[in-house]
Amino acid sequence: MQHQQTIRRLRRLRQTETVRNLFKETTLTLNDLILPIFVEEEINDYQPIASMPGIFRIPEHKLPYEIERIAKAGLKSVMLFGISHHLDEIGSDTWQEKGLVARMSKACKDTVPEMLIMSDTCFCEYTSHGHCGVLGRNGVDNDATLLNLGRQAVTAANAGADFIAPSAAMDGQVSAIRDALDKAGFTATGIMSYSTKFASTLYGPFREAAGSCLIGDRKSYQMDPMNRHEAIRESLIDEQEGADVLMIKPAGAYLDIIRDIRERTQLPLAAYQVSGEFAQIKFAAKAGAINEIDVALETLGAIKRAGANLILSYFALDLAEKKHL
Ligand SMILES: [Zn+2]
């Protein structure tokens, strides 16, 4: 039986669960996950988000309770998104000492000091037009927005945020924020940049979650999903500007980009499994087409296998509370 000697038997390493576990190349733990949460001011009750089953806008007064719950489940980090009732043309509430951005970080730190707080740093939930910065004659004014990003970052750091996470997709935002933080004495505050952020239609459910009032699109500042070289450049420039962590958003449809950037940087890499990715899995599971938890774990594992060290995911709390991880 000469041909038997030539068969390469990979099934040897798959025979039992013990063997499979021993040779598993990628593992997912709660340490890898960051939970994005939506916090709305001036509401009394949790607001369900129809396009994201199981996810709610948290009333601000419930934030301490939720942070305790998240910590108890074993998660170590959250990304804070505020839903403001104080909109203006430039999103000035974001840098008020008593504004929503500051209050969220402070409430979390006062309740669970060891919870790592990532402060999403943008303006789209605080501007009356829903864009990610100051509007000028030709759309969002890049450099005017940079100044305000610096202000917001310092306010968040002062309130206790551990990481500033700029998502405005402005050129130069990382160096502007690093400068502002350092000048204000926050040299220990990190920057996790949304360094490669695509203008994706998969953000659809988030718009409902965050109560976006945007008319038009963000294609003049977020990236074309068809561009690979530009995607790599975007992240590498943020590394040069001093980012501590890079991020690719969305994640599941951009595994090639995660891998491309992984191969070109030594920085930690995060990836954001966005609302549309979450909704696809949720609704397919609700229709009985797939198993929700299995698919959630498989997609998160794939994002990690592609090269992400950290994953932002709306599944994080459920997976933690039900002890799937
Ligand atoms: Zn924005």
Tell me how far the alpha carbon of residue 168 lies from the centroid of ligand 1, in angstroms.
5
Tell me how far the alpha carbon of residue 131 lies from the centroid of ligand 1, in angstroms.
6
Tell me how far the alpha carbon of residue 107 lies from the centroid of ligand 1, in angstroms.
23
Predicted pLDDT at 38: 97
What is the spatial distance between Cα 78 and Cα 114, in angstroms, rounded to a whole number?
11
Q: How far is CA 11 from CA 21, 34, 152, in A?
A: 14, 35, 55
Predicted pLDDT at 212: 78
Annotated ligand binding at 20? The verdict is no
Rounded to two decimals, the pTM is 0.96
Annotated ligand binding at 203? The verdict is no
Predicted pLDDT at 4: 65
Tell me how far the alpha carbon of residue 130 lies from the centroid of ligand 1, in angstroms.
8
Nearest alpha-carbon partner for 75 in 29, 28, 120, 30:
30
Reading the block at residue 193, the tokens are 């940049």
Annotated ligand binding at 292? The verdict is no
Annotated ligand binding at 132? The verdict is yes
Annotated ligand binding at 108? The verdict is no
Predicted pLDDT at 214: 85
Q: At 197, is the secondary structure helix, strand, or coil?
A: strand
Annotated ligand binding at 84? The verdict is no
Tell me how far the alpha carbon of residue 126 lies from the centroid of ligand 1, in angstroms.
9
What residues are annotated to the active site? Answer: 197, 249
Q: Give the pLDDT confidence of 126-140 residue by residue, as tens digits.
A: 999 999 999 998 899
Nearest alpha-carbon partner for 159 in 80, 86, 238:
80
What is the spatial distance between Cα 131 and Cα 124, in angstroms, rounded to a whole number?
5
CA angle 57, 321, 162 (to 5 degrees): 60
Tell me how far the alpha carbon of residue 62 lies from the centroid of ligand 1, in angstroms.
24
* Residues with pLDDT less than 50, the chain: none
Query: Which residue segments constitute the domains of the chain, with CATH numbers given?
Result: 29-322 (3.20.20.70)
Contact between 204 and 229 (Cβ < 8 Å): no
Predicted pLDDT at 117: 98
Predicted pLDDT at 2: 58
User: 141-179 burial by CB neighbour count: b if 16+ within 10 A, else e?
Assistant: bbeebbbbbbbbbbbbbbbbbbbbbbbbbbebbbbbbbb
